[in-house]
Amino acid sequence: MLFGGSLAAAGLVAVLFTASLPSSAPAQAGDTPIETVQTVNDALLHVMENAEALGFQGRQDYLTPVLMQTFEFPAMARLAAGRYWGRFSGEEKRELVTHFTDLSVSTFAARFDGYSGETWKIEGTTEAPRGGTIVENRLITGKGRVIAINYLMHQTEAGDWRIIDVYLDGNISELALRRSEFNSVLRNGGVRHLFEQIAQQVDRLSSQPMQTN
């Protein structure tokens, strides 16, 4: 995944999200933030343990339905586009959501491409600035290294919890970096250029060598 920004971005994300975005259609995420993150952890552990047999496409195929049920990809795409979102046609908005989802799932599939005894541990939850909940989540490597991969969660009107941002090392916001990257491309090349850039990035992710353990 691409990560950048800081945990302070959680406040901005929460404000933008709650102020202007409707809840998703009926979802299959968890009834609590921890249940949703546990679903993601279980799926990632499965693709890590079976990474070579699945290959990139298999990992992508396995993760797609899980992540679409646990992440707010339409909302995340809108937030990543920032002020440009209102300038898009309905078709361009739908296309951006599709590209954003593909990029997000492909990044997971490329990043979690091997297994050497890793385990997941959920430490608990904390309140995010200006609303939302952060799930404090840890990846523990086979050598005992602890990597913080936290999630900013939003509760939909249906009552389930979905992820709207990911923080690597506990405080580096993926969505903040996406927003910066997307806005730079949109400012200089427009929405079609953004779609081309995302497609090229997905292609690179699908062809990168698997990690060696």
Domain ranges for the chain, please list them: 9-203
State residue 156's pLDDT score: 86
Q: What is the mean pLDDT of the chain?
A: 87
Q: What is the mean pLDDT of residues 47-61?
A: 97
The tens digit of pLDDT for each residue in 136-189 reads 999 999 999 999 999 999 998 888 999 999 998 878 899 999 999 999 999 999
pLDDT of 75 over the 60 cut: yes
The HSE-up count of residue 76 (CA atoms within 13 Å, CB side) is 29
% of the chain surpassing 90 pLDDT = 76
Check: CATH 2.60.40.10 for 9-203?
no
Number of C-beta neighbours around residue 120 at 10 A: 17
Nearest Cα to Cα of residue 31 among 135, 142, 139, 156: 156
Looking at the DSSP assignment, which residues form a beta bridge with residue 134? 126, 152
DSSP state of 24: P
Q: How sure is the predictor about 41, in pLDDT bands with cuts at 50, 70 and 90?
A: very high
- Residue 4: phi and psi, rounded to 5, are -175, 170
**CA distance readout (Å), 201 to 24, 143, 162, 206:** 27, 31, 25, 9
Q: The whole model's pTM is what?
A: 0.85
Q: Which residues pair with 147 in a beta bridge?
A: 139
